[in-house]
A and B are shown apart, each in its own frame.
Chain A
């Protein structure tokens, strides 16, 4: 018969606790190293741009401007950051040591109402790099940030294109983006689908209210939000409210497939049996796109996906509207 003394118990418990801590630390390390590889040295030559983007919207613009190899740092949670790029913080905080080590020539961020952090401005003066912060909440904000003359907040720096000396390319890209959105808007003008409920969360049910970026995209794609303008931009609803709203179409928009629902789960199943018109007519659609919530040059793609869901009969016309073409100012499409 085995007997266990108190001290043996203590040792065993201590070992168990230690093992738990080691496992947790290993897990943390493996996750934090996902973007820990050194930055690419593609543009390390004299005069080359070394761009750090802490704003995913700007990162997308940089990619569409063909500057992927010049991006040396990005936000830790940037869904569109090139693989292997060093993480130097996120929307809320900056890893100044990592940023300084990258020796950037340009730093883009989305600082919100607080403006560009004074410490970053001081570092920029000391190291001689350019800082530009943008407030990107709407379609116009995004296009202004790309090709505007004086749009940056917190400094006198102009838009991304002008900041990088790529005015013409940025203007062409902005024109192409706006052109694609306008063509989509024209498609939906004749017969918009009303009572569209747009959801960005399921547990709890989180909807998109009027006055938001996604609401703007849905309008462009030929839909009308079922929610009235309220105090909350992304209100949490209960099922009774969803049933009472009686949406004709439910769009579940998310940039990740996790947490809300598995990609293989038919979206209609979660609202089944409640007599909701959208469910009864089979008009519950899921739009999965990692840039779905990003006001940037990817907006036509997201608007196109929503337009196809709202107007399946016009899918070919939507594809045609998004096809690259020569813009009125003679610039090429994307």
Chain B
């Protein structure tokens, strides 16, 4: 007959805390999933006329919904992964120059097509150039930041910032030398709009790639928890830090490149969503990544719905607002709302 070991009061409390934490995590994730569902239904109902649309219009709304879900989830998870990789709360797809690299790729393709390089014009037309631009920056940052296959988080961060600055300068330069009439179109694209001409195949491929990246990130959640410690501590706990960093770096790059392919550069989602979810459910990466994906998807779809509703019902005939503008308007105050109790409660030592 076996007897269970006697439980101390401390272990009992810890177990109760863990159970409460798990329950809270479940509740938050369910709430976020409900938000995504709500935003998705609203997006399907909101359009030129409110209500369930006829098949042709429904197809268009479903495609936009798919873009919103994919882009939101991809950007938010990319941000969460980069924050873990770089051990920096300010890390986002922007900070490594991935978004600016995508923008530069798109603008260069457009610029060369203006100059009559029709082969490159094809890239500019379907935004593949943006995807290529993001991947190229990812490779450059990796090549410069790695030492014998080791990715140093500080080096990645610094080189990313430098590459980002160089991309910014190049973007301004290309915008300057481009013909005036093309420049306006380039600036509009840089504000972040869903691509109306992304085919279902393209959207499906990016969605599948994003799902794969998010899935691998979730699977690596425990390893990312361990990687929060120093490199030597992580090694001593049996984690192959070198491989983990490379995988996370590639995932973040691919997720960002895919989202830019569908919607241009959209800021803020990758920075804010992981932080909001972290404030709600804590720092464990597995639920954090799932929650970030849900929060990002809900934010982007809600923003797209609000933009469509505003341009149709509130200000009929008005121009569509760039989605990147609204995500900042929505995400900023929400972030401050969650962050404020912590900031206001902090005292100088």
Q: Which residues of A contact B (CB under 8 A)?
A: 4, 6, 9, 13, 16-17, 20, 24, 28, 31-32, 77, 79, 90-91, 200-206, 227-232, 234-241, 243-244, 254-265, 270, 274-275, 293
Q: A16–B144 Cα gap in the complex (Å)? A: 9
Which A residues touch B185, using CB under 8 A?
200-201, 203, 206, 259-260
- 17 more A-B residue pairs beyond the given contacts A31-B177, A236-B188, A243-B57, with a C-beta to C-beta distance below 8 A: A77-B179, A79-B181, A91-B180, A200-B185, A205-B196, A230-B315, A230-B316, A230-B317, A236-B319, A240-B60, A244-B48, A244-B49, A257-B116, A258-B113, A259-B114, A264-B118, A270-B197
**Closest approach, in angstroms, between the C-beta of B61 and any C-beta of chain A?**
7
Which B residues touch A260, using CB under 8 A?
185
From the candidates B111, B148, B316, name the one contacting A258 in the complex (CB within 8 A). B111
B64 beta carbon closer than 8 Å to chain A: yes
**Nearest A residue to B184 by beta-carbon distance?**
A201
B194 beta carbon closer than 8 Å to chain A: yes
B197, A202: Cβ atoms closer than 8 Å: yes
Which B residues touch A275, using CB under 8 A?
56
Question: Can you show 18 pairs from A to B with CB atoms below 8 A apart?
Answer: A9-B147, A77-B178, A77-B183, A79-B181, A200-B185, A204-B188, A204-B320, A229-B317, A230-B316, A235-B318, A236-B188, A236-B322, A238-B308, A254-B181, A257-B113, A260-B185, A261-B125, A263-B118
B268 beta carbon closer than 8 Å to chain A: no
**Closest approach, in angstroms, between the C-beta of A294 and any C-beta of chain B?**
9
Which B residues touch A6, using CB under 8 A?
147
A4, B48: Cβ atoms closer than 8 Å: no
From the candidates B166, B177, B181, B193, name the one contacting A255 in the complex (CB within 8 A). B181
Interface string of B132-173 (1 = CB under 8 A from A): 000000000001100110000000000000000010001001
B19 beta carbon closer than 8 Å to chain A: no
From the candidates A204, A265, A270, name the one contacting B193 in the complex (CB within 8 A). A204
Knowing A17-B144, A202-B197, A239-B60, say if A258 contacts B124 (CB, 8 Å). Answer: yes
A203, B195: Cβ atoms closer than 8 Å: yes
A255, B196: Cβ atoms closer than 8 Å: no
Interface centre among B64, B118, B322 (most CB of A within 10 A): B118
The secondary structure that dominates the B interface is helix
Which B residues touch A203, using CB under 8 A?
125, 127, 185, 189, 193, 195, 197
B57, A24: Cβ atoms closer than 8 Å: no
A256, B181: Cβ atoms closer than 8 Å: yes
Q: How large is the interface on B (under 10, 10 to 19, 20 to 34, 35 or more residues)?
A: 35 or more
The secondary structure that dominates the A interface is loop
**Nearest A residue to B148 by beta-carbon distance?**
A4
B195, A228: Cβ atoms closer than 8 Å: no
B320, A259: Cβ atoms closer than 8 Å: no
**Closest approach, in angstroms, between the C-beta of B129 and any C-beta of chain A?**
11
Which A residues touch B116, using CB under 8 A?
257-258
Which A residues touch B196, using CB under 8 A?
204-205, 238-239
Which A residues touch B186, using CB under 8 A?
259
Which B residues touch A243, using CB under 8 A?
56-57, 60
Which B residues touch A244, using CB under 8 A?
48-49, 57
**Closest approach, in angstroms, between the C-beta of A160 and any C-beta of chain B?**
20
B110 beta carbon closer than 8 Å to chain A: yes
From the candidates B56, B110, B125, B166, name the one contacting A274 in the complex (CB within 8 A). B56
Q: A228–B189 Cα gap in the complex (Å)? A: 24
Q: A241–B188 Cα gap in the complex (Å)? A: 18
Which B residues touch A254, using CB under 8 A?
181
**Closest approach, in angstroms, between the C-beta of B200 and any C-beta of chain A?**
11
Which A residues touch B182, using CB under 8 A?
256, 258-259
B47 beta carbon closer than 8 Å to chain A: yes
Which B residues touch A200, using CB under 8 A?
181, 185
B121 beta carbon closer than 8 Å to chain A: yes
A237, B320: Cβ atoms closer than 8 Å: yes
Residues facing A in B114-132 (CB within 8 A) are 114-116, 118, 121-122, 124-125, 127
Which B residues touch A293, using CB under 8 A?
181
**Nearest A residue to B170 by beta-carbon distance?**
A24
Which A residues touch B195, using CB under 8 A?
203
Q: A207–B229 Cα gap in the complex (Å)? A: 54
**Closest approach, in angstroms, between the C-beta of B149 and any C-beta of chain A?**
11
**Closest approach, in angstroms, between the C-beta of A2 and any C-beta of chain B?**
12
Knowing A203-B127, A238-B308, A256-B179, say if A231 contacts B318 (CB, 8 Å). Answer: yes
Which B residues touch A234, using CB under 8 A?
319
Which A residues touch B315, using CB under 8 A?
230-231
Q: A320–B112 Cα gap in the complex (Å)? A: 38
From the candidates A238, A241, A258, name the one contacting B115 in the complex (CB within 8 A). A258
Which A residues touch B147, using CB under 8 A?
6, 9
Knowing A206-B188, A236-B188, A240-B57, say if A230 contacts B318 (CB, 8 Å). Answer: yes
A201, B188: Cβ atoms closer than 8 Å: yes
B317, A227: Cβ atoms closer than 8 Å: yes
B317, A236: Cβ atoms closer than 8 Å: no
**Closest approach, in angstroms, between the C-beta of A77 and any C-beta of chain B?**
4
Residues facing A in B298-341 (CB within 8 A) are 308, 315-320, 322
**Closest approach, in angstroms, between the C-beta of A30 and any C-beta of chain B?**
10
